[in-house]
Amino acid sequence: MSDTFAVIGGDAAGMSAASKAKRENPDHDVIVFEKGEWVSYAACGMPYYIKGEVDELDDLVAVTPEEFREKRDVDLRRDAEVVDIDRETQTVTVETNEETYEQPYDDLLVATGASAIEPPFDGLGLEGVFTIHDMDEADAIEDYVTEHDPGTAAIVGGGYVGIEMAEALSARGVDVHLYEMLPHVLQPFGEAVAEIVEDHLREQGVDLHLETAVSGFGGDKRIDGVELEDETVSADVAIVGVGVTPNADLAESAGIELGSTGAIATDEYGRTNDERIYAAGDCAEATNVVTGEPDHVPLALTANRAGRAIGQTVTGAPTATGGTAGTAIVKAFELGAARTGIVNEDQARQAGFDPVSITISASTRAHYYPDGAELTVTLMADHESGRLLGGTVVGREGAKRIDTVAMALTAGMTVTELQNADLAYAPPFSPVWDPILTAAKVLNGKLG
Amino acid sequence: MSDTFAVIGGDAAGMSAASKAKRENPDHDVIVFEKGEWVSYAACGMPYYIKGEVDELDDLVAVTPEEFREKRDVDLRRDAEVVDIDRETQTVTVETNEETYEQPYDDLLVATGASAIEPPFDGLGLEGVFTIHDMDEADAIEDYVTEHDPGTAAIVGGGYVGIEMAEALSARGVDVHLYEMLPHVLQPFGEAVAEIVEDHLREQGVDLHLETAVSGFGGDKRIDGVELEDETVSADVAIVGVGVTPNADLAESAGIELGSTGAIATDEYGRTNDERIYAAGDCAEATNVVTGEPDHVPLALTANRAGRAIGQTVTGAPTATGGTAGTAIVKAFELGAARTGIVNEDQARQAGFDPVSITISASTRAHYYPDGAELTVTLMADHESGRLLGGTVVGREGAKRIDTVAMALTAGMTVTELQNADLAYAPPFSPVWDPILTAAKVLNGKLG
């Protein structure tokens, strides 16, 4: 009899694992349980659907259920929720609309994802108040905007989702108010990026309310306002994007250990404390390549890569899931902003480093070549060792240059090693010293 | 008495060294001898001046002679040619229009650059036949095109210069014929890139003559044709860009050792076999980070970096010049093409590797996001060790992603390590798996 690999969750990590396992060993039985309808979809694309740049929600689906079943021979079961894991008998309990049944497994992957945090706001249930945690919600927002043509939107939270939705709703002709409790948007990107993004958001007509706590929403059946400490501001639609929390309850109930981040703890192969049970994606921890410590970075590449590695491991070729540098990039209207590693001094100190950082601005092209843009680069390093800890970039072009910094972190490079990297130069593409190299030079000067 | 640092050559390496030395130690006497008029200019920008995208030749000057003298306190002497180096007495002989004199030095930098190769062609002296080796020549080409409004251009050589000049002259309304002796243009970029660039050049109206040797130019006083083996093709202007050769004669006459590449041999600090004499830039070798062997890669960043390091070294802080990965990027009309490391199987074998390579094409953005372009990526690795050896990319956007590969080479990474790098993803900037990562996955599959 062939082995059974059961997967809980049909998005990035789960489907990557299932596809890879089946490809590596077609005799392996691979079953995926997905509690909803949608599988293998690009959640990151949802704001662009609402914005109107992506025609159909279906366009965000990377691989259709039919392809998984027919071409990849994966036993995909939708509307099938795993409600219990019995580690003793190696069995999961599955609930569908029609029945409840038990499914034995040899290896199990928990890829249950994360959920949008729902803060304790009044009026969260009003019509026109949305989180944007899945495809059905994206569909509902699009429908609502089309149907009600809202004049004013309240976006709560200045993270990726908030900023992408500000762009999307502005493009739909909605007046956007963005509320952020902290002094700056994009907290994980640091002040240098935040201040540039904030200026740009204002230029683009976004009404930015920093250090402003929202307590809830007003309205009868449908939202008509957002409640602040001292006032109520009118709003015809609201998007709450204040972060996500790992869906770890199912695993925890089965005695699978969580890490200090609240996500499922794993080893370098994505294995939990039960050697037959793996976890990957937004519900799981990954190792931070800078600190060497477990981290929770719920992003798509980490999920896909870990899933794929686990698909290889369960079919006989143990493959490390790879670490995370916390690399992220976001489009804010005309700007690109990106980060990697540690860029916060307190975090650096907590991780045992003595942080030194600099911020520079430089052109993305030769000074005389047309249409260059200013790229602002921040780099942080450890004083004593000179080791690079992290960086950010922001500008109208060139934000993907963060990858150069991410590569330096992956390799554990010092600032001098980064400064000596042989990057590509020609006038249409870069100054002789790429802005990242210029930043490394300046940081090296400060390190002494 | 303060030390004297003499520099021969006032472009990238020389001026970087002079500026850095003076900044590190203002008491140091720093003298630069430049045999021409132009200093610190961006030779790489010349095609864009001829194209008409850069208004003034002066715009290509990064730092003016006045700034060097007044702000940076460098004793810059133009029209001053060093004709002899006496290592015994640590003196150079300088010729100007008015006089010949001797200048003692404590440390000397040879930064004499490279010259355009002049093949043994008939008619090389005809009016309208140009190499493009310096600013005066760029000026002459611009004047000639403006004055004579040539109908047809013959460009000899399908390297950077040839391709950039094809774009520049096409933009000026000239019918361009490009002649390349080898089966492909951009030889150092490999076939995968060359074929895409060749198709694009043809689409853009360039008449491409591959495997076609030019023997000379015909015409009376002014060029009227280009001579091939069997025929003469009409041409009103010709640009010869068949490579450069290091200007190493002065150094060689003084007993300074050249390497096997014909450029001046140096150690990791840019020092020659004479410990008081350094060499940097297009006249000098640099260490290839992949092979660990001396290489001659006459490119701007290598020159600037080595010059700067030598400026630090001579003022008391020994600083390695850094290696070269041979990273290069070129714009060919709407395409960007880039390379780094070893991408040629024969070269890989000669360096002791067992090369395995793959080529993939992938979108630069999420599949559903507007305006993505196809990026074609080639990666080469050593079979046994899995170590990455080099790569190329070509496409309408994203060519700077070569830097990710260059970073992997600098760090000596394996393909698996590259595949596990945490690069930035958001739909407007990349697919979840950046094309570089997809290429690494596919190459890893082939490595087994």
DSSP for B123-163, please give it: TTTSBTEE---SHHHHHHHHHHHHHH--SEEEEE--SHHHH
Residue A171 contacts B where some CB pair is shorter than 8 Å: no
Nearest CA distance, B37 vs chain A (angstrom)? 20
For residues B424 and B179, give the distance between their C-alpha atoms in angstroms, rounded to a whole number: 41
Residue B133 pLDDT > 90, yes or no? no
A424 closest CB neighbour out of B289, B322, B402 = B402
Residue with tokens 């100190």: A349
Question: Residue A332 has which token pair?
Answer: 């804010």
What are the chain A neighbours of B54 within 8 Å (beta carbons)?
Answer: 368-369
- Residues of chain A contacting B302 with CB distance shorter than 8 Å: 422
Section A26-40 average pLDDT:
96
Partner B, chain A 365-384, Cβ-Cβ below 8 Å: 366-370
Subunit contact A300:B432, Cβ cutoff 8 A: yes
Which of A321, A407, A416 should one mutate to test binding to chain B, selecting the residue with the greatest count of B CBs within 10 A?
A407
Q: Do A329 and B429 touch (CB under 8 A)?
A: yes
Residue A265 DSSP one-character state = P
Are A433 and B301 a contacting pair at CB < 8 A? yes
Q: Residue written as tokens 């969580």? A: A258
B427 touches chain A (CB under 8 A): yes
Q: Which residues of A touch B422 (CB under 8 A)?
A: 289, 301-302, 322-327, 340, 406, 409-410
Please tell me if residue B325 touches chain A, with a CB cutoff of 8 Å: yes
What is the C-alpha to C-alpha distance for residues B439 and B445, in angstroms, rounded to an integer?
A: 10
State whether B432 and A304 contact (CB < 8 Å): yes
| SS3 category, A430 | coil
Q: B399 vs A424: CB contact, 8 Å cut-off?
A: yes
Chain B CB contacts of A299 under 8 Å are 425
Structure tokens at B139: 């000026």
Is A402's Cβ below 8 Å from some Cβ in B? yes
| Mean predicted confidence (pLDDT) in A9-15 | 96
Q: Is B53 within 8 Å of A370 when comparing Cβ atoms?
A: yes
Of A30, A32, A19, A25, the closest CA to residue A316 belongs to A25
How high is the pLDDT of residue B1?
58
pLDDT at B448: 82
- Which among A53, A331, A399 has the least Cβ separation from residue B370? A53
How far does the CA of residue A217 sit from the closest CA of chain B (Å)?
30
Query: Nearest CA of chain A to the CA of B436: how many Å?
Result: 11
B371 chain-A contacts, CB cut-off 8 A:
none
Does A407 sit within 8 Å of B408, measured CB to CB?
yes
Q: Which of residues 195-214 of A touch B (CB under 8 A)?
A: none
Do the beta carbons of residue A439 and residue A378 sit within 8 Å?
yes
Determine the Cα–Cα distance for residues B44 and A353; give it in Å rounded to an integer: 41
SS (H, E, C) chain A: CCCEEEEECCCHHHHHHHHHHHHHCCCCEEEEECCCCCCCECHHHHHHHHHCCCCCHHHHECCCHHHHHHHCCCEEECCCEEEEEECCCCEEEEECCCCEEEEECCEEEECCCEEECCCCCECCCCECEECCCCHHHHHHHHHHHHHHCCCEEEEECCCHHHHHHHHHHHHCCCEEEEECCCCCCCHHHHHHHHHHHHHHHHHCCCEEECCCCCCEEEECCEEEEEECCCCEEECCEEEECCCEEECCHHHHHCCCCECCCCCECCCCCCECCCCCEEECHHHECEEECCCCCEECCCCHHHHHHHHHHHHHHHCCCCCCCCCECCCEEEEECCEEEEEEECCCHHHHHHCCCCEEEEEEEEECCCCCCCCCCEEEEEEEEECCCCEEEEEEEEECCCHHHHHHHHHHHHCCCEHHHHHCCCCCCCCCCCCCCCHHHHHHHHHHHHHC
Nearest to A301 among B60, B417, B433 (CB): B433
Of B340, B367, B422, Cβ closest to residue A325: B422
Longest dimension (CA), chain B: 70
Structure-token match 């911020």, residue found: A359
**In 3D, which of B176, B154, B139 has the Cα closest to residue B61?**
B139
Cα distance between residue A292 and residue A273, in whole Å: 19
For chain B, give the mean pLDDT.
Answer: 97
Distance from CA of B404 to the nearest CA of A (A): 6
- Is residue B283 annotated as part of the catalytic site, yes or no? no
CB-based contact A295:B424 (threshold 8 Å):
no
Is the Cβ–Cβ distance between B381 and B357 less than 8 Å? yes
Contact A427 B304 (CB under 8 A): no
Question: Which residue, among A403, A405, A418, A444, would best test binding to B if mutated, counting the most B CBs under 10 Å from its CB?
Answer: A403
- Enter the DSSP assignment of B67: I
**Coil, strand, or helix at residue A427?**
coil
Say whether B400 and A53 touch across the interface (CB within 8 A): no
**Average pLDDT for B106-121:** 96
For chain B, say whether A323 makes contact (Cβ under 8 Å).
Answer: yes
The chain A residue lying nearest B330, using CA atoms, is A426
Residue B223: C-alpha distances to residues B124, B151, B233 (Å): 9, 12, 11
Class of domain A118-242 (CATH, top level): alpha beta
Contact A422 B336 (CB under 8 A): no
* Average pLDDT of the residues in A126-148: 95
What's the pLDDT tens digit per position in A410-437?
999 999 999 999 999 999 999 999 999 9
Q: Which of A403, A404, A424 sits opposite B329 (nearest CB)?
A: A424
Q: Does B63 touch chain A (CB under 8 A)?
A: no
Contact A375, A361 (CB under 8 A): yes
**B12–A419 C-beta distance less than 8 A:** no
pLDDT exceeds cutoff 70 at A1 = no
Q: How far apart are CA B274 and CA B333, in angstroms?
A: 45
Over the stretch B226-282, which tens digit does the pLDDT of each residue have?
Answer: 999 999 999 999 999 999 999 999 999 999 999 999 999 999 999 999 999 999 999
CATH 3.50.50.60 domain position(s) in chain A = 4-115+245-313, 118-242, 334-447
Task: Determine whether the interchain pair B289/A400 forms a contact, defined as Cβ–Cβ distance below 8 Å.
Answer: no
The size of the A-B interface in CB pairs under 8 A is: 211
Which one, of B126, B119, B220, lies nearest residue B179 by Cα?
A: B119
* Catalytic-labelled residue, pool B36, B42, B44, B103: B44
Chain B, 274 to 313: residues with Cβ < 8 Å from chain A are 289, 299-302, 304-305
The CATH number of A4-115+245-313 is 3.50.50.60
The Cα B211–Cα B182 span in angstroms is 5
The DSSP output letter for B64 is -
Please give the average per-residue pLDDT across B173-180, as a whole number: 98
Name chain B contacts of A406, Cβ cutoff 8 Å: 421-424
Chain A hits for B336, Cβ within 8 Å: 428-429
Mean pLDDT for A282-302 is: 96
d(CA B192, CA B26): 50
* Cα–Cα distances in angstroms (integers) from residue B140 to residues A436, B120, B235, in the given order: 36, 22, 17
Query: Which residues of chain A make contact with B430, given a CB cutoff of 8 A?
Result: 329, 400
| Contact between A186 and A330 (Cβ < 8 Å) | yes
In this structure, the number of other CB atoms found within 10 A of the CB of residue B260 comes to 11
The active-site residue out of A4, A23, A44, A222 is A44
User: How many angstroms separate the CA atoms of A191 and A378, rounded?
Assistant: 10
| Per-residue model confidence (pLDDT) at position B391 | 98
Best residue in B58, B403, B415 for a mutation probing chain A (most A CBs within 10 Å): B403
Contact with chain A for residue B433, Cβ under 8 A: yes
- For the domain B334-447, what is the CATH code? 3.50.50.60
